[in-house]
Amino acid sequence: MGKKNNNDSKIPNVAIPNLNIPNFSANIPELQNPVMQKMMDQQKQAQDMMLKMKEELEELKKKLEPVKKQLIKKFDYIQSISIIPQQINNLIKEEFLTDPEYALFKPIEKEDVRHLLILIPEEKLKESGKVKEETIKLIEHIRPKLWISIRTPVDMWEICFDSKYELTEALSMSFPIFDKGFLGSLRVANVHKGLVLRKFEKYVVSYVIAGSLVRGDVTETSDVDVYVVIDDTDVKRMSRFELKERLRVMIYNYMAQAGEIAGVKNKLNVQIYILTEFWEAVKDAHPVIFTFIRDGVPLYDRGAFMPWKLLLKMGKIKPSPEAIDMFMSMGDKVNEIVKKKLLMIATEDIYWSLITPSQAALMLYGLAPPTPKEIIRMMKEVFVTKEKLLEAKYVDILEKVVKLYKDYEHQKVKSVSGKQVDELVKESKEYVDRLKKLVEQISNKNKKTTLDDLYNNVFDLLKKIFGNGSEQVLFKKFEKELINKGKLQKKNLRALNDLICLKNKLAKGIKKKKLKAKTKKKESDKEPVVECDPAKHEVELVRKDVSELINGLLDYIQRKELIELEKKRIKILYKEKDSMREADVYTFGDIAYIVKDLNSGDIYSIDSKTGTKKKIDVEEFTKVIESNKEKNFEKKISIAVLEKLREMFKEFDMTF
């Protein structure tokens, strides 16, 4: 199979209304109305006709596919080939069907003829006869009959200059078989024009195209330059500027919609002028407006653009003496403008290009963003002197740029040479490049600090659970006692593995790309060999997983401590104010602790020998629990404590 031509175009979807006509009952009086029935029949006929037309066009396109390939192979300058819809036959009669041979067709035959439009560049107009002759040979066998119209973009623009905008719009909507971008660009402009006019036609004076589309060198991806002139002469309720801005927003909103409807990649580039400012520019023959009027082609005009175009062609639009002086003065000012721009580059642009990333580096280090006044001192103190991460020569570059900026602020420096700017740009690039490396150094240091903190927190908790031991020993106990027994999830083991791996890798300075995957075990002793999962070599990802691991370990420790504490607790059930309440008794050696209400701090200590009772606070009780949680004490109550309990609760039940 041959390569598919990128310029092949699909037939645009024909908008067929979805009528969904119900199967109404003849018994409904309203629908027995002949007028209603006739309207419904007409709608159904229109729908059927549109469907039939689409099917016919698809069939004709298939027949023309080999014709297209041979034509563009022989005449590679062809810009577009398209089928003109039958609905516009009446519009094209005068413009395209002036050939005497066409007049020989019988009226019935003319109705069945389909029109094929072939666009070629203006400079190839002399070869139009060859193109037509070759096309006739290729389509002789095709039915229905095809009448060939060969035109150039200039012919299309002449139609616009004659104010036949309806015809131009209809031709732009013809069904493309091949298009290098001309018809697509013209179509998207016409669709946008239609949307704009439908919304606020009374304000639009002219809708004009220009640029590559008019020049004839447009492609499938070219921007379509459009100019819209808005009438502001009758504005009463708002300022002219406000009118322009309001219409600009709405016109711009239609741009994407037009591209979607047209089904092309070409983007609209819309310029909007209000009539009063446009007229001022015309009077002064402003170069931009001069070019726009000279080269532009109207797709819609209320009698303003074409007179300007003709007057310009006749030499009647000339710049005023004031405008000539203004344009000439621009040349005189160029040296001054260049000097100002060089000074702005050397001061404002370069200054902020160094200050902002310097602030970012200090913020990454953990400091609040300093003011520009403090930046040199802080860069020197933190990165040169304290951390020894940055060479002093780079702070010298920063100092040089800051000094120039200060001299400019105090009007000590009023100009700089191009050579000075080149030198500053070079040094600034060196500074910024070095700062990127500095940021990476800080980031790695922060990562290492973060990982060290996570590592210490995790292994402190593991030591709290299993006692002191090496990394490998604690890892094995963690896997055996907590993971294998289902007390923690398997993902917690992967998190611990990744933490150890990444910490070791960063400590050794090994690059991330060398990190490899999965947790393995040596066959000999089944001890874990720590290797990283490549998807988790980022510290932030590991930090998130390890945070879950820490929460899991804390939860396990708390549950374990609660179970141990439960073993030391004696429950008291007593009556108070006609309701049953609970209190707890804990005995640690010679002291018993009665907790009536922990939240309110209703806690007492009782000496088991003397029976001395004393109220204590929550903090003191917490310290007692913490210091005795690992110790084993018998659940027993002395006579002295029992007497105090009778005093406190009168009647009570006790559960060991």
Say yes or no: 369 and 222 in one domain. Answer: no
pLDDT of res. 37: 63
* Top-confidence residue, 298 or 6: 298
pLDDT of res. 41: 67
Q: Determine, yes or no, domain membership for 286.
A: yes
Per-residue pLDDT tens for 159-208? Answer: 999 998 988 888 888 888 899 999 999 999 999 999 999 888 888 999 99
Per-residue pLDDT tens for 52-62? Answer: 777 777 888 88
Q: Determine, yes or no, domain membership for 14.
A: yes
Cα-based torsion angle of the residue sequence 62, 64, 69, 74 in order, rounded to the nearest 10 degrees: 180
Among 271, 299, 319, where does a domain finish? Answer: 319
Q: Determine, yes or no, domain membership for 355.
A: yes
Res. 5: pLDDT tops 70: no
pLDDT, average across residues 22-49: 54
Angle 509-513-518 from CA coordinates, rounded to 5°: 100
Res. 234: pLDDT tops 60: yes
Residue 470: other Cβ atoms inside 10 A: 9
Say yes or no: 143 and 32 in one domain. Answer: yes
Q: Determine, yes or no, domain membership for 192.
A: yes
Say yes or no: 579 and 508 in one domain. Answer: no
Res. 454: pLDDT tops 90: no
Say yes or no: 355 and 300 in one domain. Answer: no
Predicted TM-score (pTM) of the model is: 0.48
pLDDT of res. 298: 95
DSSP for 444-494, written as a single string:
HHHHHHHHHHHHHHHHHHHHHHH-S--HHHHHHHIIIIIITTTSS-HHHHH
Average per-residue pLDDT for the chain: 79
Res. 281: pLDDT tops 50: yes
DSSP state at residue 534: G
What CATH code is carried by the domain that includes residue 328?
1.20.120
Res. 514: pLDDT tops 60: no
Among 109, 144, 177, where does a domain finish? Answer: 177
pLDDT, average across residues 620-633: 76
Q: Which residues contact 475 (CB under 8 A, 6 or more apart)?
A: 496, 500, 528
pLDDT, average across residues 484-495: 87
What CATH code is carried by the domain that includes residue 226?
3.30.460.10
Q: Give me the number of domains the chain comprises.
A: 5
Say yes or no: 231 and 149 in one domain. Answer: no
Q: Which amino acid is at 571?
A: K
CA-CA distance, 638 to 636, in Å (whole number)?
7
- Asked if residue 12 lies in contact with residue 184, where contact means CB atoms within 8 angstroms, the answer is no
Q: What are phi and psi of 638, to 5 degrees?
A: -75, 165
pLDDT of res. 525: 41
pLDDT of res. 393: 93
* Tokens 């209304």 sit on residue: 17
pLDDT, average across residues 242-250: 79
Peptide bond into 66 cis (omega under 30): no
Say yes or no: 240 and 110 in one domain. Answer: no
Res. 246: pLDDT tops 70: yes
In this structure, of 182-191, 513-522, 532-541, the range with the lowest mean pLDDT score is 513-522
Say yes or no: 511 and 482 in one domain. Answer: yes
List the domain range (segments joined by +) for residue 386.
324-442
Say yes or no: 143 and 223 in one domain. Answer: no
Say yes or no: 521 and 625 in one domain. Answer: no
CA-CA distance, 257 to 253, in Å (whole number)?
7
- Asked if residue 490 lies in contact with residue 483, where contact means CB atoms within 8 angstroms, the answer is yes
pLDDT of res. 517: 37
Q: Determine, yes or no, domain membership for 448.
A: no
Computed on alpha carbons and rounded to an integer, the radius of gyration of the chain in Å comes to 44
Say yes or no: 270 and 356 in one domain. Answer: no
Among 319, 352, 381, where does a domain finish? Answer: 319
pLDDT of res. 252: 85
- Asked if residue 186 lies in contact with residue 156, where contact means CB atoms within 8 angstroms, the answer is yes
Per-residue pLDDT tens for 352-410? Answer: 999 989 988 888 888 887 888 889 999 999 999 998 999 999 999 999 999 998 888 88
Say yes or no: 506 and 599 in one domain. Answer: no
Q: Determine, yes or no, domain membership for 455.
A: no
Q: Determine, yes or no, domain membership for 454.
A: no
Q: Determine, yes or no, domain membership for 457.
A: no
As to burial, measured by CB atoms within 10 angstroms (0-12 exposed, 13-18 middle, 19+ buried), residue 30 is: exposed
Q: pLDDT band for 115, please (50, 70, 90 cuts).
A: confident
Say yes or no: 187 and 214 in one domain. Answer: yes
Per-residue pLDDT tens for 295-340? Answer: 899 999 998 899 988 888 887 777 666 566 655 666 666 677 777 8
